[in-house]
Amino acid sequence: MIEATHEVSNQVPELGDYNLYSSDAVLRTAVQRAGAQGHDAALSHYGERLGRMQTRQWARDANRHAPELESYDARGYRVDRVHFHPHWHQFLRMAFAHGMHCSAWAEPGPGAHAARAASYLLHGQAEAGSLCPITMTSAAIPLLRKEPWFGQVQDQLYSRQYDERDLPLAAKTGMMVGMGLTEKQGGSDLRGTATTASPVAAAGRGERYLLRGHKWFFSSPTSDAHLVLARHGESLSCFYVPRWMDSGDKNRVEIQRLKDKLGNRSNASAEVEFRDAQGILVGMEGRGIATLIEMAAYTRLDCVLGSTALLRQALVQALHHARHRRAFGRALADQELMRCVLLDLAIESEAATVLALRLAAAFDGGDEPLQQAYRRILTPAAKFWVCKRTEQAVAECMEVCGGNGYIEDGPMPRLYREAPVNSIWEGSGNIMCLDVLRALKDSPEAAGELIDELARDSAGEPLLTEAAQGLISLLRAGGSGLESAARHVARDLVLLVQAGLLRRHAPQAVADIFVRTRFGRAAGVFGVGIPAVAAQGLLERAWTP
């Protein structure tokens, strides 16, 4: 017998089964506040399924085995099929069964958006790639249901049965919708869209057109339809482009290739060409960008949710590691400096979670100016800030896990690679900040209510009142200099709202540290300016499986 060279010791045990929902006190109380407490049992059930070791293994498989394109079949016929790992379908099956692609519309009512947001925060911790088609489908519904022909697709859109088969819609039990805007020459500035649409007979809403051109990014290409921006004459309109035509033939949307992406590997993102593909005009003719911007309000909320989920899961992994790994005679989680880092990360996660649920609740809210402000002004600001903070926080969580955090056997590299995409798609950081300025200008009443709320919530805390006054002065001064301050405006709006939420709903120590470190002598990295003594109890509160 060969003698062992060493004993394996001090390696962190695998994170076992745990309930993503019941172990998240911050999320649970945010769900209550958002009026979604009726969904508690369903969320707990979902959290239990998603937190199983087996589910984590599925996520690993679905991302290790990226989708593959089959352009032609064995006989040379064009087929444009995409083959996914079976566990990709498993995640979509779960999301559909839970209603994440439609519940906010199919079952409206108090807390509907907030409950869906909470599911999204859970699902995104287990597997993020499958959220893309879920987001697109859900965000397309408010547009499609304004169309007189919505009844023809409603049953499949609201169905809880995921149907992966590549068949005409009439033969399917459920459907997914994607979105095609970005072309080679530009994704932010859509005015340069070159894809053309020519009416088959009459022009106008609900009429049929033939689309010719391309899209450089076209995620979820196997969706049953995409909402596509195309040009008719001088104006841009939105078109519903099905994967299959009523004739029973495949629509002429040819997949050129699949993108080889940094992250988001389980999901397919394609380049496509439209070779006189059939499409139906959705919304008003010439209002294509406005129509799709309405959809973007929902997709941008989902980017905030997706990043909040990644941040939460990275935090859980970091806490698990630090509690089991020992160095210099003690667990990492008992080392003073490590506790500072972990607490700061936990506070960042809490701030993102309470904001995410507050935003989702605004989508459940009415037309009051403050609710509008959260939807229209704060959502793009949060997409900018939370997605960027998540990139940094996930990297810090990876470092907590040391060298093992960098190795593909564990989940950290996947979380790290996934983080930037929420910041890039659906409008990149600068575009979000410029959108915040536009929204502040275009919605003066909502902006006024928001500023009033920030001023009220800052009362009694000098660092906050100073920041709020600074922001107000900046906005009042306006002028040409405002554009260069757009990131400053978006950041401070988010931080002030997060501070207000934490002061109302979190333990005082959490709120105090947040204010001191985010508004004081801003540090830039996690773990600076945190009193280690405060971490006791707060780290247990952050996560105990």
Ligand X SMILES: Cc1cc2nc3c(=O)[nH]c(=O)nc-3n(C[C@H](O)[C@H](O)[C@H](O)COP(=O)(O)OP(=O)(O)OC[C@H]3O[C@@H](n4cnc5c(N)ncnc54)[C@H](O)[C@@H]3O)c2cc1C
Question: Which residues are within 8 A (CB) of 16 and not within 5 positions of it... i.e. 6 or more apart?
Answer: 53, 545
Contacts with ligand X by CB under 6 A: the residue count is: 23
182 touching ligand X, by CB under 6 A: yes
* 3 state SS of 191: helix
69-77: long-range pairs with CB below 8 Å, 24+: 69/255, 69/257, 69/258, 69/268, 69/270, 71/255
* 142-150, 165-173, 182-190, 384-392 -> range binding ligand X (CB under 6 A): 182-190
543 touching ligand X, by CB under 6 A: no
Question: Minimal distance in Å, beta carbon 67 to ligand X?
Answer: 13
Nearer to ligand X, 392 or 430 (CB): 430
Q: Name the DSSP class of 524.
A: S
Question: Minimal distance in Å, beta carbon 296 to ligand X?
Answer: 10
373 touching ligand X, by CB under 6 A: no
188 touching ligand X, by CB under 6 A: yes
Nearer to ligand X, 219 or 458 (CB): 219
Beta bridge partners of 282: 238
C-alpha span between 189 and 115 (Å, rounded): 34
* 408-427: contacts with ligand X (CB under 6 A): 421, 424-427
* 242-301: contacts with ligand X (CB under 6 A): 261, 264, 269
* 204-223: contacts with ligand X (CB under 6 A): 217-219
Nearer to ligand X, 36 or 304 (CB): 304
* 162-181: contacts with ligand X (CB under 6 A): 178-181
C-alpha span between 538 and 168 (Å, rounded): 53
Contact between 35 and 114 (Cβ < 8 Å)? yes
Question: Minimal distance in Å, beta carbon 143 to ligand X?
Answer: 15
Nearer to ligand X, 128 or 347 (CB): 128
C-alpha span between 397 and 127 (Å, rounded): 18
| Element housing 503 (H / E) | helix 486-505
Nearer to ligand X, 73 or 483 (CB): 483
Contact between 96 and 160 (Cβ < 8 Å)? yes
428 touching ligand X, by CB under 6 A: yes
Q: Which of 142, 186, 199, 531 touches ligand X (CB under 6 A)? A: 186
Question: Minimal distance in Å, beta carbon 2 to ligand X?
Answer: 48
C-alpha span between 130 and 133 (Å, rounded): 6
Beta bridge partners of 227: 179, 240
C-alpha span between 378 and 383 (Å, rounded): 8
Q: The tokens 């009429």 sit on which residue?
A: 207
CB burial string 397-417: b at 16+ within 10 A, e below:
bbebbeeebeeeebbbbbbbb
33 touching ligand X, by CB under 6 A: no
Report the DSSP pairing between strands 196-199 and 269-282: unpaired
431 touching ligand X, by CB under 6 A: yes
Question: Minimal distance in Å, beta carbon 421 to ligand X?
Answer: 5
Question: Minimal distance in Å, beta carbon 195 to ligand X?
Answer: 11
Distances from the Cα of 355 to the Cαs of 170, 348, 471, 486, in angstroms? 40, 11, 19, 20
Question: Minimal distance in Å, beta carbon 370 to ligand X?
Answer: 28
Nearer to ligand X, 58 or 425 (CB): 425
429 touching ligand X, by CB under 6 A: yes
Q: Which residue is nearest to ligand X (CB)?
A: 187
Residue ranges that bind ligand X, judged by CB under 6 A: 178-182, 186-188, 217-219, 261, 264, 269, 421, 424-431
